[in-house]
Homo-oligomer: A and B are copies of this chain.
């Protein structure tokens, strides 16, 4: 810590997910529970002792760095995609990546601790909304007594939470995706991965996920997949995330 209160923080871990680009990442943690990730500690922190009794908690907090967004100047207001991309809210009233210090906060489900992995102990998590390789600065247990506030007012997010698309994924295309990745992919598509709300049905998108490029278009409330292509450089993160 310096006199000004500035602080140099170092990654304790990195997360492995199927997301090689920001496009398609769920806008909040927990929205797509079938998404698997691995939290791999940096060598200094690979100690089973540091995780003692963590297995009793079903959820954990990750504090991490919006590393893919670093370097961009912050602005006082942002336009959350879930509000249509036109309404501005204050940056501190948002979970936007473009914020002072660029820290992210995610609650994810802890599905297991893999102590036998060569890079273990590794935390197996579900519902992570993080880019593959994202540096993690802290891991804390989710303590319901203080973290679960059922009476909390949800502000402008109240109107956004039920926005799910119908997904039309032709079976012949879906079969090209490994079975264990189908549920997460369908979840991501239903969450409407378009960067903004362009209502034109002609607009086509390519979603990179776990070594595949998934082509789709959206008309009204229906998302239609028309192409699945295996990418040459993909696959590794997904294989690691099981």
Count A-side interface residues using an 8 Å CB cutoff. 75
Which chain B residues lie closer than 8 Å to A233 at the CB level?
none
Given A6-B11, A153-B57, answer yes or no on A138-B99 (Cβ-Cβ < 8 Å).
Answer: yes
Which chain B residues lie closer than 8 Å to A153 at the CB level?
56-59
Copies in the complex: 2
**A1-38 contacts to B (CB < 8 Å):** 1, 4-12, 14, 28-31
Q: Mark A101-138, 1 if CB is under 8 A from B, else 0.
A: 11101110000000000000000000000000001011
Tell me if A29 and B149 are in contact (CB < 8 A).
Answer: no
Cβ-based interface call for A151 (8 A): yes
Tell me if A155 and B57 are in contact (CB < 8 A).
Answer: yes
Cβ-based interface call for A203 (8 A): no
Tell me if B5 and A155 are in contact (CB < 8 A).
Answer: no
Which chain B residues lie closer than 8 Å to A49 at the CB level?
76-77, 90
* Complex: chain B residue closest to A133, CB-CB: B5
Residues of A within 8 A of B (CB): 1, 4-12, 14, 28-31, 45, 47, 49-59, 61, 63, 65, 67, 70-71, 76-77, 88-95, 99-103, 105-107, 135, 137-157, 161
